[in-house]
Amino acid sequence: MSTGTLLAIIIPIVVVIALAAVAVSLLMRRRHLRERFGPEYERTVEGSDSRLAAERELKERERRHDSLEIKPLPPVSRDRYTREWTSVQEEFVDRPEDAVHDADRLVTSLMHERGYPTEGFEQQMKDLSVEHGATLEHYRAAHEVESLSTRTRATTEQLRGAMVHYRALFDELLSDGGGRAQPARS
């Protein structure tokens, strides 16, 4: 067999193997992102120009998240937050709008103590999406009602729903979101 014939056989085989490896790598990456981000994966894809651009955005969120010092709460802090949440829930009976604002403040404070930056809602959403993608829609809905209540446009039922939504994220943050928190770095 001549060298030319051998190359004509080997080169296409190598190209096919390389393409298959790239395809498998992309599929594994996509599966990892879907599992990690949950419903936030599809939301990001829908809001992006392409699936690849969305996946780059999600990978960037992972890189940023990995650089944060997310830490579990000490038991004393967990107990304090639990008491504060109970107080906010009790406040809802007489002052629902104030309770929703206080719930938002409490969730933000909890995020901050866990190590999440709290410099703006959109960035908070991106940072939370890495570990809390399943409850992120709760936070979006609660924040939307909280914004409405600032302009006194939220109904009592919407305010009640916001409290339920805040509670979902609050509980997850309080319980360290399933245990993927990193130990504090020295």
Taking all residues of the chain, what is their mean pLDDT, rounded to a whole number? 89
Closest-CA residue to 131 (of 61, 57, 46, 47): 61
Q: pLDDT digit string (tens) for 68-80?
A: 999 999 999 999 9
- H-assigned helices in 120-180: 121-132, 136-150, 156-174
Rounded mean pLDDT, 1-7: 84
Q: pLDDT digit string (tens) for 40-68?
A: 898 899 999 998 899 999 999 999 999 99
Q: pLDDT digit string (tens) for 113-161?
A: 999 999 889 999 999 999 998 889 999 999 999 988 877 788 999 999 9
Residue 182 has pLDDT above 60, yes or no: no
**How far is the C-alpha of 24 from the C-alpha of 39, rounded, in Å?**
23
Phi and psi, residue 97, nearest 5° = -65, -45
CB atoms within 10 A of CB 102: 20
Which range, of 8-12, 21-25, 148-152, 163-167, averages the lowest pLDDT? 148-152
